[in-house]
Each structure stands twice: as C-alpha cells, then as structure tokens.
Amino acid sequence: MATTLDPPAVATLRWQVRPSARKMADKASRAAIERAGLQVGEIDLLLNTGLYHDRNLGEPALAALIQEDVGINPEDPHAGVHGTFSFDIANGGCGVLTALQVADGFLQSGTIDHALVVASDADPGHGMAPGFPFSAKGAAVVCHWEDGPSGLVGFQWEIVPEDGDLFRSRFGFERGRNRLRVEQDPDFGCRAAAWAGRTATSLLADHAIRPADVDLVVATPLTPAFLEGLSTHLGIGSERVVAVEGAEHVHTAALIVALAAAEEQGRLNEAHRVLLISAGAGIVVGAAVLVR
C-alpha cells in the first residue's frame, strides 16, 4: 500500500508574449485531472509549488486561485459533498518532492483520496524580473492511495547550508522599484549532484536496493552538469537517468516534466524501481523511491 502517481501533464502557453504562470498551472492541472480519469471535484488537496508567478503575488496562496480557475469545489460549503483545501509549498527546486511527501502523509492517514501537485514558473512581468532565467512551463500530477505494492516507499532529505550561497533568489528595491535578482553559481550543478548522490545512496541502502537494481532515475535540475554529476556519484549509467531536451531551464516544474518525458518515452512503464531526486537552493537535496 502506497501513494501512487497518475500520469503527469505538462503545459506551455506557446503563443503568448508573456505566459502567465497561473494560466499554465491551470492548464496543467486540468490535463492532469483528466489523465487521472477524475472529475475536478474529486480533488481533496491542491498543493502548488511554483515560485515565480504573475506580479509575484504574495497573498493569497496561488493554489487558491488555481482551485477557483479549474473549478475544484470553489463554492461555499454545503451539505452532502466535500470541499478542497489548497495551499502553497515553497522549497525551491525541491518543492514538488516536498509536496509529494506532504500529499503522501495525508493519503497514508486516509484523510484524503486524491491530491493534485502543481508547479509553474514564468516571468512575473511588470518589469519586475529583467533577465528572468527560467523557462515558462507548468506541470501537474495527481496522486492517490493504492492497496497494491507499487508507489512511493520512502523519502530522504539533506540540507547543506555551507553551499547556501550557490543559488539565491531575492526581490529587492533597486533603482526606484522592486526587482527580482536570481544568482546561480556555475558550480551549483556539480555541488548539488555530489550531495544528491550521497543522499540517494543512503536512501537506497535504507531500502536494501543496490544502485544496479534502479531502473530509472528521474532527477532535477535538468541541467547536464547536475545529471552527469549525479550519474557518476550514484554509479548509475547515464542511460538510466532521464534527460529532457530543451528543459534545462525549467525550474520548479522540472520533476513532473521529467516524469512526463519518461512516461512518453515508455521508460516509466517499463521501470520497476524509480529513483526520484531533486536538488535546490539551500542546498537542499531530497530523494524518494517509487516502486512500480
């Protein structure tokens, strides 16, 4: 018995001059719910983990706006049905993995039947983010509890504050207005790969899984430096690590984007043991085992 992921969905808004992160999240959420074979009202918990959205809205949680846009039980409480709870989780590039763990907790306790995890980033616009470095992309996945042997069977985290300066993102007042400044050291990918490799190796050992028994590694960020470094540190050949062409600048949605790519390539369905890994600013690294 474990938390199982339904087929993920990815969204872009190709023809817009400035894509809206919220609208991409809406689109990805609708598609993920449809791919899970559900009605929108069946989602009990909605977790948004995207960080960069329209005007950098600070309040309310973007999740609430997504819930209303998608029409997931938006109305006032009434008898005979259930509502939906929505909020945001922020953990940089590890947000999706954190949200999966939170959703897993509420699924394990039987509190909910279905959770939707969504992430999207785009230039906040209004001149707030000159040189915004991340690709406009949204992605979402539904998870549910299943009685069979497949699903998420363990999470492990490590925080490495000594490398905290390698990735920083701040809104500050510069030249008369609030501007976003994202600073990423060129060494971030290599350093993050080393820490992620260590954490994932420890997780595998806890579950008595040898690196050779891992069929697929779905890891983020999707940069060559991180993925190549991770492959080396894990001792798992790069052919078993999912790479997604053109996705190296996808940020919080990257883990779901990589899952979707693996599914589309048919690799996810063939894999028995999948290692999910994320690294983000902090440095925070997280790993989970997905048994299928």
Partner 1 sequence: MPRTWLMMEQSPDGGRAPYVARFESIGRRLPTTRLTTEELMASTRHRTRIDLERLTGIHERRVSAGAEDSLSLAAGAATDCLRRSRYGPDDLQVLASCSITKYRDGLTQWLEPPMSLAVAQQIGATNATAFDISNACAGMLTGVFVVANRIRRGEIDCGMVVSGEYISQLGQNAAKHVRHVLSDELASLTLGDAGAAVILERAPQGGPGIAVAGFTTVSEHSRLCLAYPARHDQGARMFTKSRSIHRVAIADTPVLLHEALDAAGLAITDIDHVIPHQTSARAIRKGMKDLCEALGGAPKNPAVVTVDHYGNTASTTHFVALVEELMAGHLHPGDQVALVALASGLEIGVVLFTVDDGLVSLYGHDA
Q: Show contacts with partner 1 in window 164-223 (CB under 8 A).
A: 164, 167-173, 176-178, 180, 182
Degrees, nearest 5: CA angle 204-36-79: 115
35 vs 179 by CB, closer to partner 1: 179
Least separation in angstroms between residue 77's CB and partner 1 is 4
Among 14, 131, 161, 246, binds partner 1 (CB under 8 A): 161
Nearest to 225 by CA among 199, 252, 194, 200: 194
Alpha carbons within 13 A on the beta-carbon side of 283: 23
The token pair that represents 202 in the structure block: 């420890």
110 vs 266 by CB, closer to partner 1: 110
The three-class DSSP label of residue 42 is helix
Least separation in angstroms between residue 17's CB and partner 1 is 20
Span near partner 1 by CB under 8 A; candidates 5-13, 86-94, 242-250, 258-266:
86-94
Least separation in angstroms between residue 200's CB and partner 1 is 15
Q: What gap in Å lies between CA 234 and CA 211, rounded to an integer?
A: 7
The token pair that represents 41 in the structure block: 């009202």
165 vs 213 by CB, closer to partner 1: 165
Site for partner 1 in 92-151 (CB under 8 A): 92, 94-95, 98, 102, 105-106, 108-113, 126, 128
73 vs 231 by CB, closer to partner 1: 73
Name the amino acid, one letter, at 175.
Answer: R
90 vs 153 by CB, closer to partner 1: 90
Is residue 3 within 8 Å of residue 100, measured between CB atoms?
Answer: yes
Count interface residues toward partner 1 (CB under 8 A). Answer: 71
Q: CA dist 282 to 12, 120, 163, Å?
A: 28, 20, 7
Q: What gap in Å lies between CA 101 and CA 103, rounded to an integer?
A: 5
Least separation in angstroms between residue 243's CB and partner 1 is 23
Among 12, 35, 87, 243, binds partner 1 (CB under 8 A): 87
Q: What gap in Å lies between CA 52 and CA 135, rounded to an integer?
A: 11
Least separation in angstroms between residue 172's CB and partner 1 is 4
**What is the gyration radius of the CA atoms in the chain, in angstroms?**
18
Least separation in angstroms between residue 14's CB and partner 1 is 26
Q: What gap in Å lies between CA 236 and CA 129, rounded to an integer?
A: 38
41 vs 211 by CB, closer to partner 1: 41
Least separation in angstroms between residue 41's CB and partner 1 is 10
Least separation in angstroms between residue 265's CB and partner 1 is 30
Phi/psi at 225 (nearest 5 deg)? -60, -45
109 vs 212 by CB, closer to partner 1: 109
CB neighbour list of residue 78: distance below 8 Å, 6 or more residues apart:
none
256 vs 283 by CB, closer to partner 1: 283
Burial of 225 (0-12, 13-18, 19+ CB in 10 A): middle
Site for partner 1 in 233-252 (CB under 8 A): none
Site for partner 1 in 17-76 (CB under 8 A): 44-46, 51-52, 55-61, 63-65, 67-68, 72-76
Name the amino acid, one letter, at 143.
Answer: C
